[in-house]
A and B are shown apart, each in its own frame.
Chain A
Amino acid sequence: MTVLLETSRLIRRYGGVTAVDGVDFTLNEGELRCLIGPNGAGKSTFFKMLCGLVPPSSGAIKIRNDDVTGMRPHEIASRGVGIKTQVPSLFDGLTVRESVEVAAMRRLTPSAACDIADETLGHLNLKGIANRIVGQLSHGQRQWTELAMVLSTDPKIVLLDEPVAGMTHDEVNRTEDLLKHINTTRTVIVVEHDMQFVKRIATKVTVFHHGRILIEDDVDRVLADSRVRDVYLGKSGLRYA
């Protein structure tokens, strides 16, 4: 198994707060990993360091033995990392189709990007809203639009920060199928609060707590672990069914 992504002693401080506190994380090619942990555990900060939005205070990030620590987002993106951020980050003034085309244009000519956009929009069932202005879409539609943009850049590693938050039951089901499909060709990390969803998609789960990795194991063992239950006790973010 080849290691695709590796962090060592990764730390990020915000003033007095240490959001991520010495994370050693390894991700193999082809995995679909879930990242869970209570609010404020440092999951999003970890993601932001992986994609270059936030520079680490210390530590290192490697993608396929290529040290990307401190690189800017566009450099890391061109090394095959795509991210769907927790708060959707979109081109509100463009249409869905235009957004996806612009994303695909990084590696393609405009006409080839047009074809890829068609394909991606069809695949994600977004053809019906292709000509709508992104700023006017519902929350679920925005999440999917962002996903379409990320996928059309053809990333090797896909980072998804709470992809089903605010989605309807049907949308969650479709996202589940989609994630599994994405994972057939790409390596995926998903941050998710919904434990039912985690159970449905993941095999291996990493639990963050106070900026550290509390436990990392198979999904069933993690969900049965008493430490995990303690961490989550009384936390509203967790929804055991």
Chain B
Amino acid sequence: MRALQSHVTTIGTLVAGIVLVGIVPFAVAPFTLADLTLYAAMAILAMSLGFIWGFGGILSFGQSVFFGVGGYTYAIVALNFDSPSLALLAAIAVAVTGALLLGYFIFWGRLSDVYLAVITLTISLIFFMLMNSMSSSIYRIGDVPIGGYNGIPGIPPLVVPGTDRSLSVAETYVLVVTVALLVYLGLSWLIRTKFGRILCSIKENEVRAELLGYDARLYKLAAFAVGAAIAGMAGALFAVYSGLINPDVFGIGFSAQIIVWVMLGGLGTLIGPALGAVLIQMLVVWLGKVQVIDANMALGVLFIVAVLLVPAGLVPRLQGLLAVAFGNLARSRP
């Protein structure tokens, strides 16, 4: 059964990869490709929360912090050292370091889940205010001013490694989509490993896991760091896509939106959060174009309706329907 699911995951990802990487770039306009790049970056971010929350039981409002820190780190390193590849690695490294420090205090401090949510929320608020207040030109790292609420503009795109040639819009799209697919495959694999299965058991019942001999704190810290690495990378890719990063990434609206993606798409799956992110981003972009209703208001209403109609999320609901349709062929899992 597990092997079957694993094959379905791999084959599904391959098919999606062929379509998204092999066909889409030739079939749609560069403008649309840029939009799709954004969706893919957000899908990566969504999977990072889908992983730590759905499989590690860690409800963090802080994924946007790691995302933002990743974006800012990419901008600062890329502009200072003129090396986008180094900047991408730095973004991941800084996010992971932050997660290890924060996670240590949270998990070793034996804080309850509620406190974890409150603390991560507070930290994103602190970052929001801090970054907003750094508008004076004295706030700079190396040659790069933090820029306060204006943020950091002119972020360079990624280059072909070993050369000076920047990636085109289409190439950037292909890269980000590929990363998204790899993150999906990687996390699907991780969940099935010994580590992943123990992590899931800790989510189910931390005390029982400890009584069986597992140090729950270590597993949660590791999961938190993996989630932060992915979120930080998503932030860097977002900075590449937009060429600009500003404190809005630390805003409460954004951090709440990530949670909505995951819940709408389906907690306890990986594809659900990714799908939730893409659908809601599409909606936000469309609402921005038609300008009839405030996007946050629309999201709020959508969220309430979704929770009432499909409380388990879209993907688990679909899996349930499929399972019934195929006579309970497979028990639904990621």
Q: Which residues of A contact B (CB under 8 A)?
A: 51-53, 72-74, 77-78, 82-83, 85, 89-94, 98-99, 101-103, 105-107, 109-110, 149-150, 153
Which residues on the A side are within 8 Å of B215 (C-beta)?
Answer: 72, 74
Which residues on the A side are within 8 Å of B211 (C-beta)?
Answer: 51, 53, 73-74, 77, 82-83, 85, 89
Name the residue of chain B whose CB is nearest to the CB of A80: B213
Name the residue of chain A whose CB is nearest to the CB of B195: A105
Pick from B200, B210, B212: contact of A94, CB under 8 Å: B200
Which residues on the B side are within 8 Å of A110 (C-beta)?
Answer: 193-194, 197
Pick from B194, B205, B207: contact of A105, CB under 8 Å: B194
How many Å from the CB of A101 to the closest CB on chain B?
7
Cβ of B207 and Cβ of A73 under 8 Å apart? Answer: yes
How many Å from the CB of A174 to the closest CB on chain B?
23
Pick from A52, A92, A105: contact of B197, CB under 8 Å: A105
How many Å from the CB of B184 to the closest CB on chain A?
22
How many Å from the CB of B191 to the closest CB on chain A?
13
Q: Which of B214-245 contact A (CB under 8 A)?
A: 214-216
Cβ of B9 within 8 Å of any chain A Cβ, yes or no, is no
Name the prevailing secondary structure of the A interface residues. Answer: loop
Which residues on the B side are within 8 Å of A101 (C-beta)?
Answer: 197
Which residues on the B side are within 8 Å of A106 (C-beta)?
Answer: 212-214
Cβ of B208 and Cβ of A74 under 8 Å apart? Answer: no
CA distance A102 to B198 in the complex (A): 6
What 1/0 mask marks residues of chain B from 183 to 198 whose CB sits below 8 Å from any chain A CB? 0000000000110011
| Known contacts A53-B207, A90-B208, A105-B194; A99 and B214 CB within 8 A of each other | no
Cβ of A77 and Cβ of B213 under 8 Å apart? Answer: yes
What 1/0 mask marks residues of chain B from 13 to 56 whose CB sits below 8 Å from any chain A CB? 00000000000000000000000000000000000000000000
Pick from A74, A85, A94, A103: contact of B204, CB under 8 Å: A94
Cβ of B83 within 8 Å of any chain A Cβ, yes or no, is no
How many Å from the CB of B158 to the closest CB on chain A?
38
Task: Show 18 A/B contacts (Cβ-Cβ < 8 Å), sorted by A.
Answer: A52-B210, A53-B211, A73-B207, A73-B210, A73-B211, A74-B209, A74-B211, A74-B216, A77-B212, A82-B212, A89-B208, A89-B211, A91-B204, A91-B208, A99-B201, A105-B194, A106-B214, A153-B213
How many Å from the CB of B319 to the closest CB on chain A?
15
How many Å from the CB of A220 to the closest CB on chain B?
34
Cβ of B213 and Cβ of A74 under 8 Å apart? Answer: yes
Cβ of B197 and Cβ of A98 under 8 Å apart? Answer: yes
- 9 additional A-B residue pairs with CB within 8 Å, beyond A102-B198, A105-B197, A110-B194: A73-B210, A74-B209, A74-B212, A77-B211, A77-B213, A78-B213, A89-B211, A94-B201, A109-B194
How many Å from the CB of A190 to the closest CB on chain B?
17
Which residues on the A side are within 8 Å of B205 (C-beta)?
Answer: 89-92
Which residues on the A side are within 8 Å of B210 (C-beta)?
Answer: 52, 72-74, 77
CA distance A105 to B204 in the complex (A): 16
CA distance A177 to B214 in the complex (A): 30
Cβ of B194 and Cβ of A103 under 8 Å apart? Answer: no
How many Å from the CB of A148 to the closest CB on chain B?
12
CA distance A107 to B194 in the complex (A): 11
CA distance A88 to B197 in the complex (A): 21
Name the residue of chain B whose CB is nearest to the CB of A110: B194
Which residues on the B side are within 8 Å of A77 (C-beta)?
Answer: 210-213
Which residues on the B side are within 8 Å of A94 (C-beta)?
Answer: 200-201, 204
Of listed B200, B201, B209, residue having the most chain A CB within 10 A: B201
Cβ of A103 and Cβ of B197 under 8 Å apart? Answer: no
Which residues on the A side are within 8 Å of B193 (C-beta)?
Answer: 110
| Known contacts A74-B213, A74-B215; A93 and B207 CB within 8 A of each other | no
Name the residue of chain A whose CB is nearest to the CB of B205: A91
CA distance A149 to B214 in the complex (A): 13
Name the residue of chain B whose CB is nearest to the CB of A108: B194
Which residues on the B side are within 8 Å of A98 (C-beta)?
Answer: 197
How many Å from the CB of B195 to the closest CB on chain A?
10
How many Å from the CB of A62 to the closest CB on chain B?
19
Which residues on the B side are within 8 Å of A91 (C-beta)?
Answer: 201, 204-205, 208
CA distance A51 to B193 in the complex (A): 28
Which residues on the A side are within 8 Å of B216 (C-beta)?
Answer: 74
CA distance A77 to B207 in the complex (A): 12
CA distance A152 to B213 in the complex (A): 12
Which residues on the A side are within 8 Å of B207 (C-beta)?
Answer: 53, 73, 89
CA distance A93 to B194 in the complex (A): 17
Which residues on the A side are within 8 Å of B213 (C-beta)?
Answer: 74, 77-78, 106-107, 153
CA distance A153 to B201 in the complex (A): 15
Which residues on the A side are within 8 Å of B201 (C-beta)?
Answer: 91, 94, 99, 102
